[in-house]
């Protein structure tokens, strides 16, 4: 039996770790009116640019949403995902879940250029991503939510954390839940946030194992599922074609809706990580949420909005700056 002193020390350690975690996720400095006086047109500038981007290419909505997600899962929502490699800094763009797949950096540059022209040195790149992600969702039919702002841009990045903390397509349900939990996000948040795959596309390299693995088993060899499977196999052969892409919601790939969850219920999830939420033997809670979000799109939209705000409130305790160029720390 451990001594009472040891137990006290352990409890102090746990409490200290919890407080540090709470500090990292403390949203108290974020407000809705942060730029009201310093850059009153900031959100409208982001919105105008996003309207142009999505009109030109609907996939840009998913691209910007994914950037925000990958940013928040590494060091908090601090714009670290946008940093280029330099002689003195290793960025996150070459991480396993980012290289060859994370895009939209040129779109961020264009929005930042407009913001700097209007309000030099005021609006952070981290806030830019949070606002653009919200606009991206709404522009393709999804919900609107108020975005608290006031984040700072980090002066560092972490390739190691990007490789370990961002969920991957091959991981099982318990691993996925633990990765979200580590960021202060629940299983409910996870199932709702993964619903963003309704407008997402996946690289063949990330779903090959799934379609040549247990896809037929989870879809119960349904003839309509077999037709879909044949089509994605044409896009993603056993060898080669790693960068070929397929929609994760084949029914309405350009619309933010709840059709993605029906695909999981049919056993047709393109990514193993997605299908796990419905088919895993330990997934009774997540399967119940999948059912609820498919049955009630309003419930899905409400939870998605709440979970996006919650994820967006994960801040970097190290603080930071307002970058003038999102790709580089200020000199």
Catalytic residues, by residue number, are: 70
Q: Is 167 annotated as a binding residue?
A: yes
The residue written with tokens 């009774």 in the block is 284
Length of the chain: 331
74 assigned binding-site residue: yes
Residue 97 CB coordination number (10 Å): 19
Specify whether the CB–CB gap between 151 and 124 falls below 8 A.
yes
CA atoms within 13 A on the CB side of 176: 24
Q: Is 160 annotated as a binding residue?
A: no
- Residue 2 assigned ligand-binding role: no
Q: In the structure encoding, which two tokens stand for residue 22, read together?
A: 């709470």
Q: Assess contact for 128 and 105: CB atoms under 8 A.
A: no
SS3 315: coil
197 is in an annotated binding site: yes
Q: Is 71 annotated as a binding residue?
A: yes
Greatest alpha-carbon span in the chain: 66
Question: For residues 97 and 94, what is the distance between their CA atoms, to the nearest angstrom?
Answer: 8
Cα radius of gyration (the chain): 20
Is 156 annotated to bind ligand?
no
Q: What share of the chain is helix, strand, coil (3-state, %, to 5)?
A: 55, 5, 40
> 135 a known binding residue?
no
The answer to the question of whether 76 is labelled as a binding residue is: yes
SS (H, E, C) 86-102: CCCCCCCCCCCCCCCCC
Residue 252 marked in a binding site: yes
DSSP symbols for 22-87: HHHT--TT-BTTTTTTT-TTHHHHHHHHHHHHHHH-THHHHHHHHHHHHHHTTTSSSSGGGPPP-S
Place of tokens 């290419």: 57
**Nearest by Cα to 318 from 79, 121, 88, 86:** 79
Q: 201 forms bridges with which residues in the sheet?
A: 247
Structure token digits, residue 276: 């796990």
- Residues contributing to the annotated binding site: 71, 74, 76, 78, 80, 92, 167, 197-198, 249, 252, 257
- Residues contributing to the annotated binding site for Ca(2+): 71, 74, 76, 78, 80, 92, 198, 249, 252, 257
- Residues contributing to the annotated binding site for substrate: 167
- Residues contributing to the annotated binding site for heme b: 197
């Amino acid at each position: 039996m451990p001594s009472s002193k040891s137990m006290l020390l352990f409890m102090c350690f746990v409490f200290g770790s919890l407080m540090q975690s709470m500090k990292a996720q403390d949203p108290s400095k974020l407000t809705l009116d942060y730029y009201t006086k310093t850059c009153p047109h900031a959100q409208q500038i982001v919105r105008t640019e996003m309207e142009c981007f999505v009109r030109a290419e609907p996939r840009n909505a998913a691209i910007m949403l994914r950037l925000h997600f990958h940013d928040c899962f590494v060091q908090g929502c601090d714009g670290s995902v946008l940093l280029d490699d330099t002689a003195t800094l290793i960025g996150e763009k070459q991480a396993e879940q980012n290289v060859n797949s994370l895009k939209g950096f040129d779109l961020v540059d264009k929005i930042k250029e407009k913001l700097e022209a209007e309000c030099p040195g005021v609006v952070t790149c981290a806030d830019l991503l949070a606002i653009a992600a919200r606009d991206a969702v709404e522009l393709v039919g999804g919900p609107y939510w108020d975005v608290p702002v006031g984040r700072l841009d980090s002066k560092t990045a972490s390739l190691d954390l990007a490789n370990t903390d961002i969920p991957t397509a091959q991981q099982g349900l318990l691993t996925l839940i633990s990765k979200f939990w580590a960021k202060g996000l629940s299983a409910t948040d996870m199932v709702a946030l993964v619903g963003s795959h309704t407008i997402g596309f996946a690289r063949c390299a990330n779903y090959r194992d799934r379609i040549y693995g247990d896809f037929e088993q989870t879809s119960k060899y349904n003839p309509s599922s077999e037709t879909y499977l044949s089509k994605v196999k044409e896009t993603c052969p056993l060898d080669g074609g790693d960068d070929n892409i397929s929609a994760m919601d084949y029914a309405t790939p350009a619309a933010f809706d709840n059709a993605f969850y029906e695909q999981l219920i049919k056993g047709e999830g393109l990514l193993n990580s997605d299908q796990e939420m419905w088919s895993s033997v330990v997934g009774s809670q997540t399967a119940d949420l999948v059912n609820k979000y498919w049955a009630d799109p309003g419930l899905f939209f409400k939870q998605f909005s709440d979970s996006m705000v919650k994820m967006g409130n994960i801040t970097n305790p190290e603080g930071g700056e307002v970058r003038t160029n999102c790709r580089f720390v200020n000199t």
